[in-house]
Amino acid sequence: MMSNRTQHRDVQRATPAGALIACPECDLLQQEVRLPPHGVAVCQRCGAELYHNTPNGLDRTLAFTLCGVMLYCLANLFPLLGLELKGNQSTTTLYGAVRALYDQKLEPVAVLVFVTTILVPGLELLCMTYMLLPLRMGKTAHGFRLVFRFVQAIHPWGMVEVFMLGILVSVVKLSNFASVLPGIALWSFAGLMVMIAAVAQSFNPRDLWLFVRARA
């Protein structure tokens, strides 16, 4: 039997007809229960979250993902930062910053920044759109299972928030000897960070599989 962390604790009863689910932390087999909106099912032995119920989870995740795609495009197309020193102005884009690191013989850092802030977030948003958009229209995308596992595998390598923190520290330090002008991409990057967190929060793999199973 499972319990609920929310105020709906009393509705948590294992039903005889419920499907079995294994706890991802301790492997205890338990029966699924129907959850109220925003309810969370937790393992009765170790307390790990088994699944949760997000109302309109698919629509929310898709909306956050599409917003993230737009912000990602802005973050990569427009200048990230501008510097003004003794009348000289210079701006750089995100890719320009990676290129500058590479040109300064900091190849490992350049590759790390490229992978964690451009490649992985871009691939993740692309794959999420590829999976969710057809699902929203009542179809299952070709190679859905493969793409789903790919997203789960690359997700830990997306580190937009770490990069954002690095930029903010750099801005504070640079502002001591030059005028720093935040570019459109910097604001877009901040928005992208929020959207990626929102996608992760609303994304519910269990609901997604239930949706796919219903379509099959």
Cβ closest to Zn ion, residue 45 vs residue 215: 45
Can you tell me the distance from the alpha carbon of 19 to that of 108, in angstroms, rounded to the nearest whole number?
48
| Cβ at position 58, least distance to Zn ion in Å | 27
3-class SS at 132?
helix
| Cβ at position 8, least distance to Zn ion in Å | 20
Q: Which of 34, 45, 139, 149 binds Zn ion (CB under 5 A)?
A: 45
3-class SS at 1?
coil
Q: According to the binding rule CB under 5 A, does residue 23 interact with Zn ion?
A: yes
Q: Which stretch binds Zn ion (CB under 5 A): 39-47, 79-87, 150-158, 179-187?
A: 39-47
- SS3 per-residue string spanning 137-165: CCCCCCCHHHHHHHHHHHHHHCCHHHHHH
Contacts with Zn ion: how many residues (CB under 5 A)?
8
Cβ closest to Zn ion, residue 44 vs residue 140: 44
CA neighbours within 13 Å on the CB side: how many for 9? 4
Cβ closest to Zn ion, residue 47 vs residue 143: 47
| Cβ at position 47, least distance to Zn ion in Å | 7
Cβ closest to Zn ion, residue 60 vs residue 206: 206
Q: According to the binding rule CB under 5 A, does residue 85 interact with Zn ion?
A: no
Q: According to the binding rule CB under 5 A, does residue 25 interact with Zn ion?
A: yes
3-class SS at 34?
coil
Q: Is 9 exposed, middle or buried (0-12, 13-18, 19+ CB in 10 A)?
A: exposed
Residue recorded with tokens 């706890």 = 23
| Cβ at position 23, least distance to Zn ion in Å | 3
| Cβ at position 44, least distance to Zn ion in Å | 8
Q: According to the binding rule CB under 5 A, does residue 43 interact with Zn ion?
A: yes
Q: Which two tokens stand for residue 192?
A: 């992208």
| Cβ at position 210, least distance to Zn ion in Å | 21
Q: Which two tokens stand for residue 59?
A: 């629509």
Residue recorded with tokens 């964690």 = 116
> For binding to Zn ion (CB under 5 A), which residues are involved?
23, 25-26, 28, 43, 45-46, 48
